[in-house]
Amino acid sequence: MATRQAGHYTRMHTALADSMLTKALDYEALYSLLDTLKPIRSILTIKMNPGTPVSTDTIILYQQLCQELSTRQVQLVAVPFRQAYEDKKLVELYAVNLHRYRSRINEHAAFFAKLGITSETPAVQTITIVENADKYDRWRGYGYLFGYPAYAVDFFVQAGMTQDSTGEFVKRDFFQIPVQAGEKGHFTYAMPKGYTPGVADSTLYYKALHTLQSYQQLRGKYTSPQGLHARKLWADWFKNR
Query: pLDDT tens, 165-200?
Result: 999 999 999 999 999 999 998 999 999 999 999 999
Q: Which phi and psi (to 5°) does residue 7 adopt?
A: -65, -45
pLDDT of residue 223: 94
Question: 42 is in which domain, residue-wise?
Answer: 2-226
pLDDT of residue 52: 72
Q: Which residues does 147 contact at the CB level (< 8 Å), separation at least 6?
A: 31, 37, 38, 39, 41, 100, 104, 204
Residue 241 counted as domain residue: no
pLDDT of residue 159: 98
pLDDT of residue 9: 45
SS3 of residue 67 by DSSP: helix
Residues of the chain with pLDDT under 70: 1-12, 50-51, 53-54, 240-241
Q: How far is it, in rounded angstroms, from Cα 50 to Cα 182?
A: 34
Residue 144 counted as domain residue: yes
Residue 239 counted as domain residue: no
Residue 150 counted as domain residue: yes
pLDDT of residue 59: 84
pLDDT of residue 3: 31
Residue 23 counted as domain residue: yes
Residue 237 counted as domain residue: no
Amino acid identity of residue 165, one-letter, is S
pLDDT of residue 53: 66
Burial label, 198 (beta-carbon count in 10 A; 0-12, 13-18, 19+)? exposed
**What is the count of structural domains for the chain?**
1
Residue 109 counted as domain residue: yes
